[in-house]
Structure formats: C-alpha cells, structure tokens
Amino acid sequence: MAFSDRDDDSIYSLFALDIDGTMIGADRIVHADLVAAIGRVQSLGATVSIATGRALAPALRVAEQAGAAGPVICFQGAMTFDPVAHSELRHVRLSWDSTTRAISGLTEKVSVVMLFLHGDVWVERRTDWIDGYVERMGLAIRYSDSLISMADRGPTSIVGVGDPATIEAAVSSLRTQLDGSALVTHSLPNLCEVEAIGAGKDLAVEHLATRLGITKANVVAVGDEKGDRTMVEWAGLGVAIEGGDPELMAIADVVIARPEESGLAEFLESLADSGRIGPSPPVASAGRARQ
C-alpha cells in the first residue's frame, strides 16, 4: 500500500527508525539524502529517534551520522538513552534467573555467546566473528571464565550467534525454557537475543511517545526484520522495507524501497511535502505528565 492511498489526516510527531536494512544497506553508510530528510523532519517540529537491536555505542554513532537528535532506543528496546542529557531514560535488565537460563540454553546450541553489560561485550572465548563484530560496532571486548558467574550483575542483553538453522532451533528452545520470563527475539537470521520482560521496541517507543506527550496515532515506526514487527504494528503508521521480513510487510501500513534505493529518505520527504509532519498536537499534551 502506498502512503498516498491512506485517507486519514494524522500529523506525525515521532519517527522511530530501525538502522540495519532500514536506514543503511550493505555499505553501512548513512547517505546524504537521508541526513537531509531527517533534518527536514526535525525542522518541522517532529522527533526522530533510532530504534535498533544494536548496543548503545554503535546506535549513538549512527544517530550522530544521521543527525537524528531524539532519544536512542537500543538493545531491542531494553534501553532508551537521551544523548543530549547523556542519561538513561529507561533501562530494563535481565534477572539472575533469566540470565543463567539464557546462557545455559544458548551454550547448548551455539558456539558464540555474548553478554552485554555497561557498554562492554563479555565473552568466554575469542572467535573471528566476535573480533569482526566488535571492530564494526566499535565496542570494547572483555573476557570471563564463566558468563554465568556474571548473572547477578543485571546484564542488558544476552546474544547467541550461529547459522540460521541453528539459531531458529535456539530461539524455539529458549522460548520454551524461559517460558515468558524473558523476551527472546530473532532480529537477524544469525542472532538470538534475550532481553528482560519490558524490553521490546514497541514498549520502548510507547514509553517514549508518552514521555513526549505524543499519541500512538502520531507515531511512525519503520523497520525491515522480525525484531521490528511489534513496533511497526503498534505505531499509528507502520512502515516496512521491501524485501524484508514477509510477515512484517504483511502487517505494515506502507512498504517502501530499500536503503540502496533511498526508500526511507524519499518516504520522509513525501510526508513532509504532504504537510503531515509537525509537533505533537495539543490533544496529546496531557501525556507529558505521565512519566
């Protein structure tokens, strides 16, 4: 469905944008046309926020490159960070029980398990994949003889890495083992991510919208993979990327072209051209009191 086919007259005041496969393509570059489009959206009074599965440091880096000035949602919604105040607005951490069970379950299925704590990546052993990952993301890597021994520190996320078939099995198995005590996500084919209940991009975007006094109807969420489904489905205008997760495209209000084809930049410009971007409508202002 094209945006022009919609017959509502909503004004959009909060944009939640996934990074990989949405803002950037295989070249991992935030292109100038997207930077210009985000700048235009913000000049019209709207908030543009990153909403990603990435850790905080690489998410902040992309936000800076893109000129997106809103709070950054990272770790699949487990953390929301205000880059202006340089402080956390929201952070849900894994419990000792969920952490131990997640690490045990993942270790049975995959050879690479990462624990994210205080901006660092903790691992039990080094691999070429981990070396490449931390280099790409600009993260600090630290070693532990036992990740389970760190379970009482309240990590933000546990991530298992493997081939797609192995990860599919790990996701299914962990969801059964954890039985609703933690959020098991599968944003990319080679990743199984575990965060605390209360994480999730949809809940993080909802919390941010409430904090900003913006109603659901005035929120745009854009993503391309499984980890974006709840966010795209929740938003007043849910946008999927062509060629992304089929189920996500099926529930989205709009499907746009891939980053390589400037899909997001052109979509934002079309919204601006149609006069559909602006600050939070007065009716939503009461939400500012709900923190």
Architecture of domain 3-91+200-289: 3-Layer(aba) Sandwich (3.40)
Distances (CA, A) of 94 to 51, 150, 174, 284: 19, 11, 15, 33
Tell me what percent of the residues of the chain surpass a pLDDT of 90. Answer: 85
What pLDDT is stored for residue 291 in this prediction? 36
Domain map of the chain by residue range? 3-91+200-289, 96-196
Using alpha carbons, list the distances in angstroms from residue 259 to 99, 121, 137, 274: 35, 28, 19, 22
Name the token pair of 126.
């080094």
State which CATH number among 3.20.20.70, 3.40.50.10700, 3.30.1240.10, 3.40.50.720 fits the domain covering 96-196. 3.30.1240.10
Residues 75-133: tens digit of each pLDDT: 999 999 999 999 999 999 999 999 999 999 999 999 899 999 988 999 999 899 999 99
Mean pLDDT computed over every residue of the chain:
92
User: How far is the C-alpha of 29 from the C-alpha of 197, rounded, in Å?
Assistant: 32
Q: Indicate the SS3 state at residue 273.
A: helix
pLDDT of residue 276: 96
The identity of residue 227, as a single letter, is G
pLDDT at position 54: 93
> pLDDT digit string (tens) for 229-258?
999 999 999 999 999 999 999 999 999 999
Quick one: which of 291, 289, 290, 284 has its CA closest to 46? 284
Q: Taking the complete model, does pTM exceed 0.75, yes or no?
A: yes
For position 278, what pLDDT does the model report? 96
Please state, in angstroms and rounded to a whole number, the distance separating the CA atoms of residues 37 and 272. 9
> Across the beta sheet with 140-143, what order do the strands follow?
140-143, 120-123, 112-117, 157-161, 191-196, 182-185
Q: What is the pLDDT of residue 119?
A: 86
* pLDDT level of residue 3 (50, 70, 90 thresholds): low
> pLDDT tens for residues 156-187?
999 999 999 999 999 999 999 999 999 998 87
User: According to the model, what pLDDT value does residue 282 have?
Assistant: 61
The reported pLDDT for the residue numbered 111 is: 87
Q: What is the pLDDT of residue 288?
A: 41
Alpha-carbon distance 164 to 99, whole Å? 23
pLDDT of residue 32: 98
Is 80 exceeded by the pLDDT of residue 289? no
Check residue 249 and give its pLDDT: 97
